[in-house]
Amino acid sequence: MRELGLGLREIAAVLASQVDQVVALREHRRRLLAERDRLDVLARTVGRTIAELEEDKDTRDMGKISTPENLFAGFDAARYEAAASEQWPGQAEASAQYAATLTEPDQERLQREATAAMIRMAEFMRAGTPVTDAAVQAEVDAHYRGICRMWTPSAGAFKALGATYVEDAQWRGAYDRIAEGLAVYQRDAMAVYADAQLS
pLDDT reading at 62 higher than 60: no
All domains in the chain, ordered by first residue: 1-64 (no CATH), 67-199 (1.10.490.50)
Per-residue pLDDT at 199: 85
CA 119 to mean position of chain CA atoms: 15
Per-residue pLDDT at 173: 86
Contact call for residues 178 and 71 (beta carbons, < 8 A):
yes
Question: Per mean pLDDT, which range of 16-30, 57-71, 108-122, 164-178 is the poorest?
Answer: 57-71
Per-residue pLDDT at 25: 87
The CA distance from 11 to 25, in Å, is: 10
Look over the chain and give the mean of its residue pLDDT values, rounded to a whole number: 81
pTM of the predicted model as reported, rounded to 2 decimal places: 0.60
Return the number of other C-beta atoms located less than 10 Å from residue 46's C-beta.
12
Contact call for residues 5 and 32 (beta carbons, < 8 A):
yes
Per-residue model confidence as pLDDT tens digits over 12-34: 888 888 778 888 888 888 888 88
The mean pLDDT of 42-58, rounded to a whole number, is: 69
Question: Per mean pLDDT, which range of 7-21, 81-95, 128-142, 153-167 is the poorest?
Answer: 81-95
One-letter identity of residue 15: L
The mean pLDDT of 50-62, rounded to a whole number, is: 59
Backbone angles phi, psi at 179, to 5 degrees: -160, 135
Question: Confidence band (pLDDT; 50, 70, 90) for 82?
Answer: low
Higher pLDDT, 159 or 70: 159
DSSP tag of 198: I
One-letter identity of residue 139: E
